[in-house]
């Protein structure tokens, strides 16, 4: 259903009443707009826009929804923070070159060389997708140039989530150059702003920082081309007034749905308001928009909570599961991966043994990692073979098909690793298609992990990448899973295909999405892991095509507790792949307990496990199966933060509030470290009774907790329970079930 609005902000478009609608639209053009208020509201929040008499659209409010829409218009008059000389500090989409004095959302050079842009209100409409989802679009037009922008705000009502993007249209006679083309422009009012963001490196993803924003601009960005999260993810949070805690404070979470260069400008303006501009990074990316062409920016997704970070997380998770991640409400395959068990050193008999071990362990699938392909330059290390996707005849004389058959014989599924966007210079692909490689013609190549990136802006390369996956699946219909890796960043950004080099970063990502669209059209449900030399590529742009992501190559469980904790602010457990490996000094139980707080996998040599370890691992797989539904689809409550305490506690609660799983991990070696006091639980029903049981115990050990004790939800959320975490019980998993 579509509702159109014009001068009065009242719905006027009804199929039956065409005439009235036309008259009203006419009126829009004839009379000046006076104070049209456009509230973009979800269940609890509102972003409120106002059209001024001069037709400029400004943001007058962002925050908790008011009961009475008519009262939003009083808000601006309550602030006496000084004069906005330009009159456009609060612009809904700040254009450069006219009267604006601050960081723009859009900057262009028109076909005639003019560099000014003004965007004025024309009309807006609301399109309802279903009971929960509706999109407000606002058409803005330059009064002098034939150039317009439509702002889109897609509201997910129950989840309190908004996706915002813009569509920029050139109706001029010649190309217009876009120098900046943000997805979203927000304006927040508080006394102070606390920015939470992340940085990292390989094996050190998601190192958190929180800082007070002061006057000026703080920029978060990526120029890496491909794997942004090698340095930082396109994800941040801003607390208003003071740093929010799990249960208190106002906090905005934002993330750009774009698998490439991004830029967030966070500018505290002269009125002490916070301007947020979020979008594709304009760095080296002037975009020539041809006449009659439209540039659609990627969505910037955000949620707001005035009840702390916990609620903001649950908003985001619920949206991600139901509306974004591929098959986010479905199930996932537990697996045994051979990467750390064999690295490149394997052959058919060894893999057959591992497939048998997969069955023995009880997981769903065997995942064959890197090293299975290339013949002229065999892939026996990361120095050669990447790009040549034919089975290596020495390692796999009977091809992938043989392994699929072995898996079938053992009642498990078979998955396989690919890295189709990349190439080793030592490969046949490189020899045959040097023009497919991103590199500067006059400069020495600079490699990352001995490899280069293929030019996905080139349709032939897109065909190649699609073909790599399609061929594997067509020749081996039993293949049930892909791990799609992406190890290199883009150095020497230059395309032999594109005539305009400044389009490369954008067209690369568009090419990537084109391949994924094509893949998903043919294989809509095949589960696929988004991997990037660890967690180098974690964003909601990619996750709509992937079922899960690889968190990090760092699988040291102690490190993982922190990383998984940080990812958990934005990404639900169902999307986080955690493997038990030999990293770290902790025993198998600790490593397994940590991996269980997401999607469980193993990357160990099963045949080397002692009798008790094997028994523990087998039981753990069964135990995981008994509660994975709660972890994958439940609400997350972070209870004790490992950054500030000797241990971490978190729990997932199912929708019915009848089953929960609580994870507890010791993160300190200090004398006496552990859970000294009870931990208050979250998300339960106060008047229900719950039975608490420690699960996933190591063979031969007993819980120190009272056997099957029953408490009320009220007690558990007011007083709490002590999981008795200490050096002898470094990880504890509790199952909390409604006692009827």
Name the site residues for ligand GLA (rule: CB under 6 A).
339, 369-370, 382, 417, 485, 487, 531, 533-534, 550, 553
**Nearest alpha carbon to residue 416 among 329, 523, 511, 526:** 526
Asked if residue 698 lies in contact with residue 612, where contact means CB atoms within 8 angstroms, the answer is yes
Asked if residue 425 lies in contact with residue 466, where contact means CB atoms within 8 angstroms, the answer is no
**Nearest alpha carbon to residue 40 among 184, 240, 168:** 184
3-class SS letters over 361-380? HCCCEEEECCCCECCCCCCC
Distance, in Å, from the CA atom of 574 to the CA atom of 320, rounded to the nearest integer, reads 10
Alpha carbon of residue 683 to chain centroid: 24
Which of 13, 550 has the CB closer to ligand GLA? 550
Which of 225, 534 has the CB closer to ligand GLA? 534
Which of 41, 485 has the CB closer to ligand GLA? 485
Residue with nearest beta carbon to ligand GLA = 370
Which of 309, 579 has the CB closer to ligand GLA? 579
Distance, in Å, from the CA atom of 585 to the CA atom of 709, rounded to the nearest integer, reads 33
Distance, in Å, from the CA atom of 676 to the CA atom of 627, rounded to the nearest integer, reads 27
- Enumerate residues 6+ apart whose C-beta is below 8 A from 29: none
Distance, in Å, from the CA atom of 53 to the CA atom of 397, rounded to the nearest integer, reads 75
**Nearest alpha carbon to residue 303 among 159, 105, 206, 183:** 159
Which of 338, 406 has the CB closer to ligand GLA? 338
189's tokens: 């009012």
Only one residue has tokens 């609580």, namely 662
Q: Which residues of 344-377 are buried (b: 16+ CB within 10 A; e: fewer)?
A: bebebeebbbbbbbbbbbbbbbbbbbbbbbbeeb
Only one residue has tokens 């612009």, namely 91
Burial label for 242, CB within 10 Å (0-12, 13-18, 19+), is: middle
Which of 234, 371 has the CB closer to ligand GLA? 371
The 10 Å Cβ neighbour count of residue 27 is 13
CA angle 372, 378, 382 (to 5 degrees): 80
Q: Among positive and negative, which fits the CA dihedral 517, 519, 523, 528? A: negative
CA angle 598, 601, 607 (to 5 degrees): 150
Which of 484, 632 has the CB closer to ligand GLA? 484
Distance, in Å, from the CA atom of 323 to the CA atom of 14, rounded to the nearest integer, reads 29
Instruction: Name the minimum Å distance from CB 550 to ligand GLA.
Output: 6
Query: Both ends of the chain: CA-CA distance in Å?
Result: 45
Distance, in Å, from the CA atom of 284 to the CA atom of 179, rounded to the nearest integer, reads 9
Whole-number Cα distances in Å, 445 to 224, 294, 454, 639, 663: 16, 35, 13, 49, 47
Starting at the edge strand found earlier in the chain, the sheet holding 36-41 runs 36-41, 45-51, 57-64
């Amino acid at each position: 259903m579509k509702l159109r609005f014009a001068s009065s902000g009242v719905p006027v478009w009804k199929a039956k009443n065409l005439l009235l609608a036309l008259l009203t639209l006419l009126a829009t053009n004839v009379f000046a707009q006076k104070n049209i208020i456009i509230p973009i509201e979800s269940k609890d929040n509102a972003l409120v826009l106002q059209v001024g008499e001069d037709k400029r659209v400004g943001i007058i409010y962002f925050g908790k929804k008011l009961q009475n829409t008519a009262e939003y218009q009083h808000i601006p008059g309550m602030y006496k923070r000084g004069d906005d000389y330009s009159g456009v500090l609060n612009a809904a989409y700040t254009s450069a070159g006219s009267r604006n004095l601050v960081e723009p959302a859009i900057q262009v050079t028109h076909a005639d060389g003019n560099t000014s842009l003004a965007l004025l209100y024309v009309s807006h409409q609301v399109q309802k997708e279903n009971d929960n989802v509706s999109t407000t679009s606002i058409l803005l037009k330059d009064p002098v140039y034939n150039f317009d922008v439509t702002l889109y705000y897609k509201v997910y009502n129950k989840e309190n989530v908004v996706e915002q993007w813009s569509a920029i249209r050139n109706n001029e006679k010649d190309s217009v150059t876009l120098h900046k083309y943000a997805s979203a422009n927000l304006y927040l009012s508080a006394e102070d702003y606390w920015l939470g963001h992340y940085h990292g490196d390989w094996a050190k993803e998601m190192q958190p920082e929180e800082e007070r924003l002061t006057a000026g601009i703080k920029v978060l960005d990526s120029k890496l081309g491909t794997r942004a999260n090698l340095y930082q993810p396109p994800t941040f949070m801003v607390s208003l007034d003071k740093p929010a805690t799990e249960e208190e404070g106002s906090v905005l979470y934002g993330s750009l749905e774009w698998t490439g260069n991004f830029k967030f400008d966070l500018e505290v303006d002269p009125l002490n308001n916070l301007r947020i501009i979020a979008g594709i990074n304009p760095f080296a990316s002037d975009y020539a928009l041809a006449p009659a062409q439209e540039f659609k920016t990627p969505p910037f997704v955000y949620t707001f909570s005035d009840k702390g970070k916990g609620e903001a997380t649950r908003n985001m998770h619920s949206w991600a599961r139901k509306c974004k991640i591929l098959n986010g409400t479905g199930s996932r395959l537990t697996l045994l991966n051979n990467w750390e068990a064999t690295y490149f050193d394997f052959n058919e008999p060894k893999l057959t043994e591992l497939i048998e071990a997969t069955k023995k362990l009880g997981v769903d699938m065997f995942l064959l990692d890197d090293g299975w392909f290339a013949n002229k330059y065999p892939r026996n290390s990361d120095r050669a073979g990447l790009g040549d996707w034919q089975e290596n005849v020495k390692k796999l004389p009977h091809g992938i098909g043989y392994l699929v058959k072995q898996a079938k014989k053992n009642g498990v599924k078979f998955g396989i690793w690919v890295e189709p966007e990349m190439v080793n210079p030592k490969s046949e692909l490189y020899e045959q298609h040097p023009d497919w490689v991103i590199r500067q013609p006059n400069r020495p190549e600079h490699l990352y992990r001995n490899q280069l990136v293929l030019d996905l802006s080139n349709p032939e390369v897109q065909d190649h990448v699609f073909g790599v996956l399609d061929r594997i699946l067509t020749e081996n219909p039993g293949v049930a899973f892909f791990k799609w890796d992406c190890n290199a960043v883009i150095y020497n950004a230059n395309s032999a295909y594109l005539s305009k080099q400044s389009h490369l970063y954008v067209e690369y990502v568009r090419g990537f999405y084109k391949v994924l669209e094509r893949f998903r059209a043919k294989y809509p449900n095949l589960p696929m892991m988004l991997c990037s030399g660890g967690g180098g590529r974690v964003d909601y742009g990619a996750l709509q095509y992937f079922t899960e992501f690889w968190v990090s190559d760092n699988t040291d469980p102690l490190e993982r507790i922190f990383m998984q904790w940080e990812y958990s602010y934005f990404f639900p457990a169902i999307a986080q792949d955690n493997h038990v490996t030999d990293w770290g000094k902790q025993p198998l139980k600790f490593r397994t307990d940590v991996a269980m707080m997401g999607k469980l996998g193993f990357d160990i040599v099963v045949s080397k496990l002692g009798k008790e370890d094997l028994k523990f691992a087998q039981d753990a797989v069964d135990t995981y199966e008994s509660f994975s539904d709660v972890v994958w689809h439940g609400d997350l409550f972070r209870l004790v933060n490992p950054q500030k305490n000797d241990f971490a506690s978190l729990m997932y609660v199912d929708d019915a509030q009848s089953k929960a799983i609580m994870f507890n991990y010791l993160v300190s070696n200090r004398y006496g470290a552990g859970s000294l006091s009870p931990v208050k639980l979250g998300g339960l029903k106060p008047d229900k009774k719950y039975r608490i049981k420690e699960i996933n115990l190591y063979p031969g050990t007993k819980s120190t907790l009272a056997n099957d004790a029953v408490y009320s939800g009220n007690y558990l959320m007011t007083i709490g329970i002590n999981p008795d975490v200490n050096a002898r019980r470094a990880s504890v998993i509790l199952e909390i079930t409604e006692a009827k």
